[in-house]
Amino acid sequence: MRRAAAALLLCLIGLVLAAPAIAQTSPLEAIRQRGVVNIGVKTDYGLFGQLDAAGQIVGLEPELAVALAQRIGVRANVISVTSANRLQRLQDGTVDIVIATLGDTQARRQIATLIEPNYYASGINMLMPLNSQFSDWAELRGQTVCATQGHYANRIMAERYLLTLRTFNTNRDAQLELRKGTCVGWLQDDTLLASEIAEGDWAGYGMKLRSVLQVPWAVAISAAARGSDLERLVSDTIADWHRTGLLIRMEQAHRIQPSAFLQQTSALWRRTRPDGGYVCQRLPDGQWPEECRNQALISSTDASGLLRLGLLVKERTNIDLTVVYDRYDRTMFLAGIVRTLVLVVCCIVGGFAVGIAGALLITRRIPLLSNGVRGVLTFSRMTPPLLQMYVLFFGVGAVLGTQHGIVLDGLFVVVLCLSLYAGAANAYALVDAAELLFARIPDFRLSIATLPRALRLAKGPIVGSLVNAVKATGMASAIAVPEIISASTAIMAERGNATVMMNILMVAYFLLVLAVVRILDALQRRYASD
């Protein structure tokens, strides 16, 4: 009995002494000691991961799993996972690593360690006939599009691009309707579409549009392994995949349509500084530079400069000024402002020109012509400009497109409708001014020579109508002209910062209208003094 107790005591002492050594075994060391790494991949995602005729797991991601295992120096045990259980398999230890089309989101970073750099990305695109007349999302406004029921992007895409969606229970049903020609395209993940194009009978079909709503994919390890040597090794391996072009070569080998994300990311990680070192090289604290990270998921402690300031404001006040600190949103917003300014200038010039021409033709009393001009201007003045845009863009434009192959440009439609709307008011203001002048001067006739006098008398109504036209340029977003409202809506859909963007939009329009009023007043004063 005493001997048994002594043996048990010695065992306990041995376990206590061995515990530090066990605790000090890192995740990477544990895998190497085991000689095998368990990696979860998808088997239901086409060329990225599927089962072949022999039941073997094949595809781009299973090959990445083997390449990663070789980098670790062990054998790869590839295990099938699904979208529903892939993170659970990490948590319960069934797999050590997940390479399974996992979108890199903030919520998932709370559950697992998502490793940067991201190795791939998916976005939303459309499969359509290659001879289709559509080459940009803005041209699809009002068009019937096939979609799969329950897809997360359906509502966003319908609202953002004014698509008319026909949803079907399965991908197969949507594909059949596309082949029948009942819709212009099939809305789906671009990665899945790429697999369909490569594997299916889709001769004459392709993705002609740029992908939107892009979500990067990340390799994941368990949350307990955050900051470990395993995370570092996997991160360095993915960086090397980008630098050596391995991911691009594998994409080509699997006949997957080239990914813009992969091209851009690989170029970024191959970029060098003047001293020959990589731009994306670890900093002294072991982190990657901020420009080499997923910009949507970094915090203020990871950033510097304007980005750090913007993220700090967001973290402390929940005010998300992405148009200030995010390069993509800032570029989109500024492009929207520029396009709005173009609309403003064109509508002011157009409204002024239509007003003068209309007034001159009406007062000349030319048979048929004068009455015809009066009728057009009266119609333009008495109908809402938004309705005019809809009729011209969706009604007349649809007929011209289907029967004659002519696609009306949204910017042209907005400028035309608002020029006629403001021009009609200006024309009648000049006609009224001419009648008042005629009452004072019986031989007065409106002409090029007498036009300045009528303009001075009608300056108030004319300035008012032009300012209204400026404010009405916001209607351009209704037919998907990417001006300031459309840009703001796109940012809100991506970022969810509706309150912030609406306030920024209100301030921007206030300043714009104020500037136009000041400029018109200055021009009027200068004109009156000449």
> Which of 37-46, 193-202, 254-263 is modeled with the greatest confidence?
37-46
Residue 242 belongs to domain spanning: 23-120+214-298
pLDDT computed for residue 20 by the predictor: 46
Q: Where residue 513 sits, what CATH number does that domain have?
A: 1.10.3720.10
Residue 476 shares a structural domain with residue 449: yes
Domain endpoint, select from 187, 213, 239: 213
Shared-domain flag, residues 133 and 239: no
Q: Provide the pLDDT for residue 53.
A: 87
What pLDDT is attached to residue 19? 46
**In this structure, is residue 241 part of a structural domain?**
yes
The C-alpha atoms of residue 290 and residue 297 are separated, in whole angstroms, by 11
Whole-number percent of the chain with pLDDT over 70: 91
Both 293 and 341 in one domain: the answer is no
**DSSP code for 245:** T
- On average, the pLDDT of the chain sits at 84
Would 1 be classed as within a structural domain?
A: no
Asked if the structure places residue 7 within a domain, the reply is: no
Same domain, 420 and 477: yes
169-185 exposure pattern, b = at least 16 Cβ within 10 A, e = fewer: eebeebbebbeeeebbb
Q: Is 249 exposed, middle or buried (0-12, 13-18, 19+ CB in 10 A)?
A: exposed
81 in a structural domain:
yes
Give a yes or no: residue 308 inside a domain. no
Predicted pLDDT of residue 353: 92
| Last residue in a domain, options 162, 194, 213 | 213
User: What pLDDT digit, counting tens, does each position of 43-86 carry?
Assistant: 877 789 888 889 899 999 999 999 999 999 999 999 998 877 88
In this structure, is residue 313 part of a structural domain?
A: no
Count of beta carbons in the 10 Å neighbourhood of residue 134: 18
Say yes or no to pLDDT of 24 above 90: no
Instruction: Identify the pLDDT of residue 141.
Output: 81
Of residues 275 and 24, more confidence is placed in 275
Highest mean pLDDT among 142-156, 301-315, 499-513: 499-513
The pLDDT score that the predictor gives to residue 200 is 73
Q: Quick one: 181 and 219 in the same domain?
A: no
Q: What pLDDT score does 22 carry? A: 45
Lowest-confidence region among 12-21, 207-216, 282-291, 420-429: 12-21
Residue 443: the pLDDT is 64
In percent, how much of the chain has pLDDT > 90?
Answer: 30
Give the pLDDT mean for 118-145: 88
Residue 171 reports pLDDT greater than 50: yes
- Asked whether residue 286 falls in the same domain as residue 209, the answer is no
What is d(CA 450, CA 5) in angstroms, rounded to the nearest whole number?
121
Is the same domain home to 394 and 496?
yes
Whether residues 373 and 452 share a domain: the answer is: yes
- Band of pLDDT at residue 17, cut at 50, 70 and 90: very low
pLDDT of residue 528: 58
**The predicted structure's pLDDT at residue 21:** 44
In a domain, 320, yes or no: no
Query: Is residue 225 domain-shared with residue 332, that is, in the same domain?
Result: no
pLDDT at 291 over 50: yes
Q: Is the pLDDT of residue 4 over 70?
A: no
Q: How many CB atoms lie within 10 A of CB 41?
A: 29
Assign residue 204 the CATH number of its domain: 3.40.190.10
Q: pLDDT (tens digit, 9 = 90+) per residue, 154-168? A: 888 887 788 888 888
pLDDT at 480: 66
What is the structure's pLDDT at 478? 78
pLDDT (tens digit, 9 = 90+) per residue, 361-415? 888 888 888 889 889 899 988 999 889 888 888 888 778 877 777 778 888 989 9
pLDDT range class, residue 435, cuts 50, 70, 90: confident
Q: 84-96, pLDDT tens digit by residue? A: 788 889 999 999 9
Do 174 and 107 belong to one domain?
no
Going by pLDDT thresholds of 50, 70 and 90, the confidence category of residue 466 is confident
Could you write out the three-class secondary structure of 368-402?
Answer: CHHHHHHHHHHHHHHCCHHHHHHHHHHHHHHHHHH
| C-alpha pair distances (Å), 152 with each of 49, 124, 163, 258 | 22, 10, 15, 24
Which of 213, 245, 278 is the last residue in one of the domains? 213
Cα Dmax for the chain: 135
Same-domain pairing of 387 and 260: no
Amino acid symbol at 230: L
Please count the structural domains in the chain.
3
pLDDT at 121 over 60: yes
- For residues 225 and 27, the answer to whether their CB atoms sit within 8 Å is yes
Q: Do 186 and 59 belong together in one domain?
A: no
Taking the C-alpha atoms of residue 487 and residue 476, their distance in angstroms, rounded to an integer, is 11
> Is 317 inside any structural domain?
no
Q: Does the pLDDT at position 327 exceed 60?
A: yes
Provide DSSP, 324-376: HH-HHHHHHHHHHHHHHHHHHHHHHHHHHHHHHHHHHHHHHT-TTHHHHHHHH
